[in-house]
A and B are shown apart, each in its own frame.
Chain A
Amino acid sequence: MRIPSMLRPALLAAAALFAVAAQAQERFITVASTTSTEQSGLFGHLLPAFEKASGIKVRVVALGTGQALDMARRGDADVVFVHDKVAEEKFVAEGYGVKRQEVMYNDFILIGPKADPAKAAGKDILAGLRKIEAAKAPFVSRGDKSGTHAAELRYWKAAGVDLDAKKGPWYRDTGSGMGPALNTASSMNAYILADRGTWLNFKNRGELGIVVEGDTRLFNQYGVILVNPAKHAHVKQADGQKFIDWVVSADGQKAIADYKIGGEQLFFPNAAK
């Protein structure tokens, strides 16, 4: 009598866990991707089409590019879908990824107060950044090792601004995702580098508007990589590859091109034919 009564709580606990675990025995892959693709609404548009075509559910975990690649390095994703070419090539070279394929691009834009106190407006991102630094106008940085953060740092460097030396109270390193960083910029009326997709889907704009766009240097390439099954044996190689094949196929590319907010196309498919 005594042993069963002592076991009872443990059994109850186990039953409760299994009750929650029992759901979702479906076919799925896990994709590590970026906040920009998730928060721009692209996946909400793209994934139902893929699920319909393949019967495979896609579970997206949206992080910064750096974090998404780390998650895949640990073996917690089947596919990565991110935008930092340098980091992606390193990921493949280290043997964590099978092969990098280009999928689509959008562009970065410099957002800032509509009144543009630093007079940064124009078509030249580097000139714009130099003016912001010269005016010490508030600038919000992602500071989270995301693809957008990496791009921002590249632009500062190309503009000849040595951030380590020039960083002052005007440069706010927020360590947050695209959306939260835009919220911060909106409340501070600061300049910020953003991807167009997130900006178009962003609602709390306040006094902010686009300050610099259309510079070819602002091009933002997205790539997709299958996590290497040789490193992590449980990677769902076949289904992951199906997803990759689909996004670079004519159907997938068309679905990407079809995604629009307010009539404006967010991502431009450019997979190699």
Chain B
Amino acid sequence: MYELSASLALAGDLIAAGDARLAGIVLLSLKVSLGATLVSCVLGMPLGALLAVGRFAGRRSLIVLFNGLMGLPPVVVGLLVYLLLSRAGPLGQFGLLFTPTAMVVAQIVLITPIIAALTRQVIEDEWREFREQLRSLGASRVRAARTLLWNGRFSLTTSALAGFGRAIAEVGAVMIVGGNIDGVTRVMTTTIALETSKGDLPLALALGAILIGVVLAINALAYAFRQWAERRWG
């Protein structure tokens, strides 16, 4: 496995050199995927909580739907968002195709179901535990959902991280709606795909190692923050 050690050495060199272009690509990756995760949490978590505590027609079908949508193929999401944002598409007049915003939108579509489905699981378990208590306090279901979301906030970081992990790792959707434009929409995964295309496998692998490092660092930060917050407020 000569390539592997060469790639790791190359990854080290790239980081040590502090290349501005590489830094820009890493930053854009983080910006797009963290932005998408934030929006998806805002959309997906209340949705998941309502699915957990709500009682309405079609709830079961919705649960199955969201569980299923966790397996959405990124390429398909990319194509759908492409057709929506294309000049010939219904949202064409905004000129969003091939911008970071388009990439955020695609990733939101991709990970909101993941965050909603995982949130539903967490809240459902809590609901079982606190149901009687909340009822005796006379809380409405919406009120209960909000309380449980706040109560489960530490467990929900894992849902958010699962969504983030999917967003930053996918290449199919951002390649199509972003176009992998140098300096504008080129992110880590599309760079890796491009360098693989050029046959520069060691560089591609080195970039992959850096991407994994970045994702690990984000997870470590989230974990440390959760520990700290739990001690302080838990």
Q: Decide yes or no whether A9 CB sits under 8 A from chain B.
A: yes
Q: Decide yes or no whether A86 CB sits under 8 A from chain B.
A: no
Query: Is A20 a contact of B100 with CB atoms below 8 Å?
Result: yes
CB distance from A16 to the nearest CB of B (A): 5
Q: In the complex, which residues of chain A have a beta carbon less than 8 angstroms from the beta carbon of B46?
A: 9
Query: Is A203 a contact of B200 with CB atoms below 8 Å?
Result: yes
A17's partner among B98, B104, B197, B199 (CB-CB below 8 A) is B104
Q: How far is it, in angstroms, between the C-alpha of A104 and the C-alpha of B88 when the chains are bound? A: 31
Binary per-residue interface labels of chain B (11-46) against chain A in the complex, 1 for a CB within 8 Å, 0 otherwise: 000000000000000000001100100110011001
Within 8 A of A (CB), among B64-109: 86-89, 92-93, 95-101, 104-105
Q: Decide yes or no whether B232 CB sits under 8 A from chain A.
A: no
Q: In the complex, which residues of chain B have a beta carbon less than 8 angstroms from the beta carbon of A39?
A: 194, 197-198
Say yes or no: A180-B97 contact (C-beta < 8 A), given A59-B179, A59-B181, A61-B180: no
Q: Decide yes or no whether B184 CB sits under 8 A from chain A.
A: yes
Q: Decide yes or no whether B182 CB sits under 8 A from chain A.
A: yes
Q: Decide yes or no whether A220 CB sits under 8 A from chain B.
A: no
Say yes or no: A16-B99 contact (C-beta < 8 A), given A59-B181, A179-B197, A203-B200: no
Within 8 A of B (CB), among A221-265: 232, 234
Within 8 A of B (CB), among A190-204: 201-204
Query: Is B97 a contact of A76 with CB atoms below 8 Å?
Result: yes
Q: In the complex, which residues of chain A have a beta carbon less than 8 angstroms from the beta carbon of B39?
A: 13, 16-17
Query: Is B98 a contact of A16 with CB atoms below 8 Å?
Result: no
Q: In the complex, which residues of chain B have a beta carbon less than 8 angstroms from the beta carbon of A180?
A: 196-197
A61's partner among B43, B87, B98 (CB-CB below 8 A) is B98
Query: Is B98 a contact of A30 with CB atoms below 8 Å?
Result: yes
Within 8 A of B (CB), among A41-100: 43-44, 59-62, 74-76
Query: Is A16 a contact of B86 with CB atoms below 8 Å?
Result: no
Q: Decide yes or no whether A177 CB sits under 8 A from chain B.
A: yes
Chain B, interface size category, equals 35 or more
A177 — nearest CB in chain B belongs to which residue? B197
Binary per-residue interface labels of chain B (41-53) against chain A in the complex, 1 for a CB within 8 Å, 0 otherwise: 0110010000000
Query: Is B182 a contact of A44 with CB atoms below 8 Å?
Result: yes
Q: How far is it, in angstroms, between the C-alpha of A179 and the C-alpha of B195 when the chains are bound? A: 9
Q: In the complex, which residues of chain B have a beta carbon less than 8 angstroms from the beta carbon of A201?
A: 198
Query: Is A74 a contact of B197 with CB atoms below 8 Å?
Result: no
Q: Decide yes or no whether B201 CB sits under 8 A from chain A.
A: yes
A233 — nearest CB in chain B belongs to which residue? B87
Binary per-residue interface labels of chain A (1-28) against chain B in the complex, 1 for a CB within 8 Å, 0 otherwise: 0000000011011001101110110000
B39 — nearest CB in chain A belongs to which residue? A13
Q: How far is it, in angstroms, between the C-alpha of A75 and the C-alpha of B42 when the chains are bound? A: 33
Q: In the complex, which residues of chain A have a beta carbon less than 8 angstroms from the beta carbon of B98?
A: 30, 59, 61, 76
Query: Is B86 a contact of A20 with CB atoms below 8 Å?
Result: no
CB distance from B34 to the nearest CB of A (A): 9
Residue ranges of B at the interface with A (Cβ–Cβ < 8 Å): 31-32, 35, 38-39, 42-43, 46, 86-89, 92-93, 95-101, 104-105, 179-182, 184, 194, 196-201
6 further interface pairs, Cβ-Cβ under 8 Å (given A17-B35, A44-B182, A183-B197)? A17-B105, A19-B35, A21-B99, A177-B197, A203-B198, A203-B199
10 contacts between A and B (CB under 8 A): A9-B42, A20-B101, A24-B99, A39-B198, A61-B98, A74-B89, A76-B87, A202-B198, A202-B199, A232-B87
